[in-house]
């Protein structure tokens, strides 16, 4: 699991190349419906289930990657 992998998921869901490790999902045009797509992609890719609250607390690729890593420990 990498920050780049999470960034790629954000890019795909938001349909924009302008996503970096510190890009806030909601400031980049995301909404709660698109967030569920991110969470679904994370579950498929990394085999970890996160809640919407987890996503609200970690809305950037960098913070979400850290949250996933802490879940896998």
CA 51 → CA 16, 18, 20, 64, distances in Å?
A: 24, 25, 22, 11
Domains of the chain: which residue ranges?
Answer: 3-72
Give the per-residue pLDDT at 48: 94
- 34/53 Cα distance (integer angstroms): 14
As a CATH number, domain 3-72 is 1.10.1200.10
| pLDDT by residue, tens only, the chain of 73 residues | 689 999 999 999 999 999 999 999 999 999 999 999 999 999 999 999 999 999 999 999 999 999 999 887 7
């Amino acid at each position: 699991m990498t920050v780049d992998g999470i960034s790629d998921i954000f890019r795909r869901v938001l349909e924009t190349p302008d996503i970096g490790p510190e890009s806030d999902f909601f400031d980049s045009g995301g909404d709660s419906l698109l967030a569920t797509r991110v969470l679904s992609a994370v579950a498929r890719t990394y085999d970890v289930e996160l809640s919407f609250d987890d996503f609200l607390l970690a809305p950037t690729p960098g913070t979400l990657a850290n949250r996933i890593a802490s879940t896998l420990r």
